[in-house]
Amino acid sequence: MASRSARRQPYALTTPALIVIGVLFVFPSVYNVVLAFQKLSPYDTPGDATWVGFDNFKAIFSDPQIGSATLNTAFWLTALTVAIRLVLGLGLALLLQSQVLARWRLRGVGRTLVLVPWMLPPVVAVACWKSIFDANTGVLNQFLVSTHIVSKGVPFLAQTSTAWWSVIAIIVWRELPFVVIVMMAGLQSIPKEQYEAAAIDSAGRWQSFLHITLPNLRPVIVVVVLMTVIQTFNNFVYVWLSTGGGPGTYTQVLATQLYSAAFVANDLGQGAAIGIVMTATMAVFALIYLRVTGDREGRSA
């Protein structure tokens, strides 16, 4: 029979972790839910809050702006950028793993260069891209005008035909290295023997990619999709700093709506309610994702 102190040991060991989780995760989450049913300004103390029931949720669900912001968040901000990053990230990872680069001794340089955008803080990255996109002095416009592709500088971030594509360019550029690194790690873990066996069976490069590389990378791709979707869906910085949600409200996303409600209109309750809607959307996505991956793992077991 274990001694009393031995029986207590697991609790003693897990308590610090539970306290940290409670203070840093559980309490803020629960408080955010409470806040969503209150009216409180950023200048008040929590004790000054007044209960408003479901008013904050009613307000956001009756706001047409939230609908378009949700669509923008799901399609432009998340789906498109994640898809582009996946394709480009896999392509770059394959290139960096290729024998050609190794032969030319460019693999190390290539890997370092790919990491550069990730080293820049997002705020700095947006500032650089804003300068590149500037209609008068931006490098891109100077190039386009000097090569007579356009007669006058294009205000990329201010017109509806280019605003979202410009934001996407910034996000993909800054966030691509993460995908490349994870994909490279995945590629390195594929046993070489599989490629050798395929080569013996006269499989071409495309067939090897399709039947060896992609199936082996599937778990990595799934993790990358989950992480980048959650990270991007909640992102505020890129849109707010590059377009401010404009032109008009064309690039408004849920995170910028949340910020506007909480810190421009000084309504923390409504901001919290939008936050809950965002979390719920992500939770649905995560559950579907876990279900799909769980089924797959079950089948493969």
Partner 1 sequence: MKFTKSVVAAAVTSLVLPLAACSGSGSGSGSVNLVFRQFDPKGEVAGLTTAIDAWNKSHPKIHVEMQTLSPNNVQQFAREANSGSGPDIDQIGYADVAFLAKPKILLSLDDLMKKDPVPGGTDNLLAKDMVTFDGKTWAMPWTADTMALVYNPKALSAAGVKSPPTTWEQLAADAKQISSSSSGKTSGFCFAASGSATSSQWNAINYYIWAHGGTLVQKNPSGAWQPGIAQPQLANAIQYFADLFSSGASPKANQAVQDYSDPSIVNGLATGSCAMSYEPPATFAPLLKQAKAAGTTLTTAPMPSGLTDGATHLGGRALGINRNSKHPDEAWQVIKYLMSATTFKTYSQYPASKSTLTQLTVPESQQGFVKQLPHARSFARYIGSDMTVASIEQLVNQRFSAVYSGQSSSSDAAAAIISGLTKGLKG
What are the residues binding partner 1 (CB under 8 A)?
Answer: 41-45, 48, 133-137, 152-153, 155-160, 243-250, 260, 263-266
Distances (CA, A) of 138 to 76, 110, 149, 151, 200: 24, 27, 15, 14, 53
CB proximity list for 158: less than 8 A, separation 6 or greater: 135, 243, 246, 247
For the record, the structure tokens of 172 come out as 């993909």
Minimum distance from CB of 251 to partner 1 (Å)? 9
Q: Are 230 and 287 in contact (CB under 8 A)?
A: no
Q: Which is nearer to partner 1, 41 or 279 (CB)?
A: 41
23: DSSP letter: I
- CA 260 to CA 270: how far, in whole Å? 10
For the record, the structure tokens of 223 come out as 């993790």
Distances (CA, A) of 282 to 74, 253, 276: 10, 14, 10
SS (H, E, C) 40-99: CCCCCCHHHCEECCCHHHHHHHCCHHHHHHHHHHHHHHHHHHHHHHHHHHHHHHHHHHCH
Amino acid identity at 157: L
Minimum distance from CB of 66 to partner 1 (Å)? 14
| Structural element, H or E, at residue 39 | strand 38-39
Q: Which is nearer to partner 1, 178 or 240 (CB)?
A: 240
Q: Which is nearer to partner 1, 104 or 143 (CB)?
A: 143
Distances (CA, A) of 170 to 88, 239, 283: 14, 10, 27
Nearest-10 crossing angle of helices 268-300, 214-233: 170
DSSP 3-state assignment of 187? helix
Q: Which residues are bridge partners to 39 per DSSP?
A: 50
